[in-house]
Amino acid sequence: MDADRLRDIPLFSSLSRDERERVAQWADEVEVGAGKHLADEGDFAHEFFAIEEGTAEVTVRGERVAELGPGDFFGEIALVETERRTASVIATSPMRLIVMFGRDFREMESEIPEIAERITATVRERMKTS
């Protein structure tokens, strides 16, 4: 994955070039079509996603709770807090995503505390509203 592309994702935008290079080593880039189930509520979590292009719908117990787009991320709650997905996320358009598996995600959090702090703040906020 190209580290320069991470600059466009707010979670990673303030990182140094070296830190973005490190994150790029942990991440993969994937493309999916509209209708793809990216996360299913209740399933065990294995990955974290950041959106480069496209949109997705978030549902909890079948109710639409959010629309995600470029720069947004998801999948962190299950990796950090619960092990199981707290919501379903379905692509509503073709998407390009940055994907990081759990082990790499935890390594990133450990090595780059700035990201861990942002993710933890987002988890707290999302847990309040769910």
Instruction: Kindly report the length of the chain.
Output: 130
Q: Which CATH number among 3.90.180.10, 2.60.120.10, 3.40.366.10, 2.40.40.20 corresponds to the domain 28-129?
A: 2.60.120.10
pLDDT tens-place values along the chain, 130 residues long: 888 888 888 888 888 899 889 989 999 999 999 999 999 999 988 888 999 999 999 999 999 999 999 999 898 776 676 678 889 999 999 999 999 888 888 888 888 888 877 777 776 776 665 5
Task: Sketch the domain layout of the chain as residue ranges.
Answer: 28-129
The pTM (predicted TM-score) of the whole model is: 0.84
